[in-house]
Amino acid sequence: MSEKKRKPIRWGMVGGGRGSQIGYIHRSAALRDDTFALVAGAFDLDPERGRSFGVDLGLDRGRSYPDYQTMLAEEGKRPDGIEAVSIATPNNTHFSICKAALEYGLHVVCEKPLCFTVTEAKELKALAEARGLIVGVTYGYAGHQMIEQARAMVKNGDLGEIRIVNLQFAHGFHSAPVEEQNPSTRWRVDPKFAGPSYVLGDVGTHPIYISEVILPHLKIKRLMCVRQSFVKSRAPLEDNAITLMEYDNGAVANVWSSAVNAGSMHGQKVRIVGSKASIEWWDERPNQLSYEIQGEPVRILERGMDYLYPEARLDDRIGGGHPEGLFEAWANLYRRFALAINDNRGLAPEGIENLCFPGIDAGLEGVRWVENCVRSADQGGIWVDYG
Ligand code: NAD
């Protein structure tokens, strides 16, 4: 894909302030390829802390704003105002900030979950479409190159007919009530800030999106979910959940979402079982994909190698053997967000029609999945038709 030289997209941030968990990776990913330039921000709930953080990042003091409403209004008056904004605040604010940014005519990169309900997600989708704006959602792990290899292998029939999808994102970091000390965890277990779920939305939606990328032809027909609060004070929000799913082609799936898998680091794994072979990807070894043909020795495919499908080498920056990680995966996604935005502005290079990135539909589908899981779990774990 050839790159035309063009000016970076003028970009602002809401949230992601000093000490936040996810702000740094947004900046590092967006700025990696000079596709975005950070020119404004409302980084923090605390106006003065946010302002001084923006100045430390190199912003003009006047463009490091006390709150996002002021940023949108002031930037909207400038001929060189921001063209896109990233939202890296707690979940309860995503809907209103995203809506306001779209109403100001800005492209948006929003943290997951996009919002709390499918109704809200549809409203954002309608607004983005009416204004002709891009909304990207940071399912960052999907930017790993071996996900593209897995997608191409399924598309090319290397696995045969898909039968079983085995998904998990089950870490152990919240096996004890760490929220008593840690503010980044505290809001995650409070429905006012986190929404209708904790681990389903916080971690489960990541492998769900990856499965949508690898298996675009599979549509969920029905599911059942049970959820638990092993740390009792987290109720009604769950710190562990198990979901079973049936797809409309007869394939089945299970999804384990957890923050209490004691001893596990990330534990995000995606295993796809077909009639001929299986593949397995683990986010703690993201440069490898296990390819297991029935009756043959296991093959470990490595990132950046010539034997991969071309789609899996499009984002290659340095060649095989050099380990890449989450920062590169996010940078790949931000580069695709920039391509989509530039395409929207008539500035993109040729050949990006097949660009695969988590957009507004990915955001909506994540919210839909959580909503269905909660509907099932709250009726005692019954099968529900996917709505
Ligand atoms: P955090 O609590 O560590 O940081 C939140 C930041 O937002 C803080 O700087 C806070 O001051 C700021 N903030 C809060 N309300 C604000 C407002 N109204 N205006 C401006 N700033 C505001 O949270 P976090 O862990 O960084 O999570 C933020 C979001 O990112 C959440 O939605 C979370 O689900 C998501 N997240 C996504 C991933 C991923 O892999 N995509 C990973 C971690 C977190």
Give the tokens for residue 328. 């590169």
Q: Residue 39: name the closest of 106, 99, 122 by CA.
A: 106
Give the tokens for residue 217. 């032809």
Q: Which residues contact 32 (CB under 8 A, 6 or more apart)?
A: 327, 331, 334, 335
pLDDT (tens digit per residue) in 240-252: 999 999 999 999 9
**Residue range 152-319+370-385, CATH number:** 3.30.360.10
Write the DSSP assignment of 312-336 as a string of letters. Answer: GGTT-SS-TTS---HHHHHHHHHHH
Sign of CA dihedral 183, 185, 187, 193: positive
What pLDDT score was predicted for residue 107?
98
Nearest CA owner, ligand 1 atom 16: 45
Q: Grade residue 2 by pLDDT with cuts at 50, 70 and 90.
A: very low
CA of 90 to the centre of ligand 1 (A): 4
CA of 164 to the centre of ligand 1 (A): 34
Q: Is the pLDDT of residue 1 over 70?
A: no
CA of 309 to the centre of ligand 1 (A): 36
Nearest CA owner, ligand 1 atom 40: 140
Nearest CA owner, ligand 1 atom 5: 89
Choice between 232 and 354, residue whose per-residue pLDDT is larger: 232
Partners of residue 240 on adjacent β-strands: 228, 258
Residue 304, Ramachandran bin (φ over 0: left; ψ between -120 and 50: alpha; else beta): left
- Give the ligand 1 atom nearest the CA of 141: 40
Q: Is the pLDDT of residue 344 over 90?
A: no
pLDDT (tens digit per residue) in 109-143: 999 999 999 999 999 999 999 999 999 999 999 99
What pLDDT score was predicted for residue 347?
77
* Percent of the chain whose pLDDT exceeds 90: 94
Range name among 135-144, 209-218, 336-345, 374-383 with the lowest pLDDT average: 336-345
pLDDT (tens digit per residue) in 295-338: 999 999 999 999 999 999 999 999 999 999 999 999 999 999 99
- Give the ligand 1 atom nearest the CA of 201: 34
pLDDT (tens digit per residue) in 175-202: 999 999 999 999 999 999 999 999 999 9
CA of 268 to the centre of ligand 1 (A): 21
pLDDT (tens digit per residue) in 15-67: 999 999 999 999 999 999 999 999 999 999 999 999 999 999 999 999 999 99
What pLDDT score was predicted for residue 5?
57
Q: For residue 217, count CB atoms less than 10 angstroms from its CB and return exposed for 0-12, middle for 13-18, buried for 19 or more.
A: exposed
CA of 269 to the centre of ligand 1 (A): 24
Nearest CA owner, ligand 1 atom 10: 44
- Give the ligand 1 atom nearest the CA of 138: 41
Tell me the C-alpha distance between 10 and 24, whole Å: 18
Sign of CA dihedral 112, 118, 120, 123: positive
CA of 88 to the centre of ligand 1 (A): 4
CA of 16 to the centre of ligand 1 (A): 6
CA of 215 to the centre of ligand 1 (A): 30
What pLDDT score was predicted for residue 346?
79
CA of 356 to the centre of ligand 1 (A): 25
Nearest CA owner, ligand 1 atom 38: 22
CB atoms within 10 A of CB 233: 10
CA of 117 to the centre of ligand 1 (A): 19
Mutate which of 14, 18, 22 for ligand 1 pocket (most atoms within 8 A of beta carbon): 22
- Give the ligand 1 atom nearest the CA of 42: 20
Q: What are phi and psi of 248, to 5 degrees?
A: -75, -10
Topology of the domain comprising 9-140+354-363: Rossmann fold (3.40.50)
Mutate which of 13, 18, 20 for ligand 1 pocket (most atoms within 8 A of beta carbon): 20
Mean pLDDT of 261-276: 98
Give the tokens for residue 308. 């991969």
The residue extents of the domains of the chain are 9-140+354-363, 152-319+370-385
Q: Is the pLDDT of residue 272 over 70?
A: yes
Ligand 1 contacts (CB < 6 A) are: 14-17, 20-22, 42-45, 68, 88-91, 93, 111-112, 138, 140, 184, 202
CA of 190 to the centre of ligand 1 (A): 14
Q: Are 9-140+354-363 and 152-319+370-385 in the same CATH fold? A: no
